[in-house]
Amino acid sequence: MAETTLVIMAAGMGSRFGGIKQLEPVGPSGEIIMDYSIYDAMRAGFNKVVFIIRKDLEKDFKEIIGNRIEKLIKVEYVFQELDQLPEGFSKPSERTKPWGTGQAVLCCKDVVKEPFAVINADDYYGKEAFKIVYDFLADPSHQKNQYCMAGFILGNTLSENGAVTRGVCKVNEAGKLVDIVETAGIVPEGDHAVAKNSEGKDITIDLQSVVSMNMWGFKPELLGYLETGFVSFLSELGENELKKEYLLPTKVGELVHANEVEVSVLTTNDRWFGVTYKEDKEVVVNSIQALIDKGDYPQKLFA
C-alpha cells in the first residue's frame, strides 16, 4: 500500500465548535461529517491524516475528534495562524481574516513528504471520490507534476434552500483541467441552473457541468509552488486589501495556465453534502441514513 496522506482543512472552526452548523452530529451515533470522510479515506487506502487547525483549537479539537482518530490511523497536526508568514513579511495590524486555503495547505510543508489529498472539514464527498483520488496518487506511473481533482456533477452539489458558489470546470477531451471559474449565486431552475457571471449578468449552466468541491490530489512538490506563490501574493498585496485570500484553486489554476502542472479531472457520481444553510442539516442527516440503510456505512462508525 502506497504512503498517502489525507489533509483536512479545519482551521476555520470556532472554539468548542459552538454554533458551527457544519459540525453538528449528522450520523445516528453522533458522527460529524469529518468522521465519514476519514472512514472513506481509510477504506480507500490512505494511511495518515493531517489536521490543519488553529493553535487555540488544539485542546478542544483533540477532545472532539482527534483523540478518537489517533487510535485508528497516524495523525499529525499543523497550525494555520495569521502571523505565519515568510521571512521579511509581517501581519498587517488590522488583518483579521485568515490568509486562505493556499496558506493553509502550505502549513503542511514540514510534515507532508508523500502524495496527499486535500479536503474541506465540513463537506461530505462520498466513498467513490476517495477511491479514485487514492488510486491516482498511488499509481507510480504518474509524474511529480501530475495532480488530480475529484470532479462533481453540478446537479449533485446544489442546495434546495438557497444559492451556492461553485468552481465550474472547463475540461479538455483528455480529461485534463483547463480552467476553473468561481461562480456565485447558482440555483437550480428546472432542467438547468442559473447564476450571475463576474459582470452580474444572468447565465445558464448545464446541471451535468463538472465542478470542483476543493477535493484535490497532489504530489509534495506542490508545497514548493505554494511557498513561492505566497511570497508573490504578499508582495503584491495592497494596503487596503485586508480581506484578500491566497486561495488553493487560484494557485492551481495559475500553474495549469503556465503549463507547470497538469490536473486530471476524475469525475465522481457520488452526491456531495454540506450544510450551507441551516435547513440543509435535515437533508444531510436523511442522506447519511439512506447510505447506512443501503449498506455503505455501519450504524456506528469506528465501533
Q: Does the residue 39 lie in any domain?
A: yes
Q: Does the residue 300 lie in any domain?
A: no
Q: Does the residue 201 lie in any domain?
A: yes
Q: Does the residue 220 lie in any domain?
A: yes
Compute how many other C-beta atoms are within 10 angstroms of the C-beta atom of residue 151.
25
* pLDDT tens track for 230-259: 999 999 988 778 788 999 999 999 999 999
This prediction's pTM? 0.93
Q: What is the pairing mode between strands 48-53 and 74-79?
A: parallel
Nearest to 274 by CA among 209, 214, 195, 184: 214
**Residue whose C-alpha cell reads 455503505 in the numeric block:** 296
pLDDT at 160: 81
* pLDDT tens track for 170-210: 999 999 999 998 888 999 988 999 998 777 788 999 999 99
Write the CATH number for 9.
Answer: 3.90.550.10
Which of 21-35, 109-123, 244-258 has the least mean pLDDT? Answer: 21-35
* pLDDT tens track for 33-74: 999 999 999 999 999 999 999 888 888 888 888 888 999 999
What is the DSSP code (8-state) at residue 23?
A: G
- Expressed as residue numbers, the domain containing 289 is 5-294
Q: Three-state DSSP class for 288? A: helix
Q: Are 200 and 188 in contact (CB under 8 A)?
A: no
Q: Does the residue 301 lie in any domain?
A: no
- Per the structure, the count of domains in the chain is 1
- Rounded Cα distance, 54 and 228, in Å: 23
Q: Are 221 and 214 in contact (CB under 8 A)?
A: no
pLDDT at 13: 65
* pLDDT tens track for 131-164: 999 999 999 999 899 999 999 999 999 988 888 8
Q: Does the residue 18 lie in any domain?
A: yes
Q: Does the residue 302 lie in any domain?
A: no
Q: Does the residue 87 lie in any domain?
A: yes
More confident residue, 141 or 94: 141
Q: Are 176 and 262 in contact (CB under 8 A)?
A: yes
Count how many Cα atoms sit within 13 Å of the Cα of residue 149 in the half-sphere of its side chain: 29
Residue 125 predicted with pLDDT over 60: yes
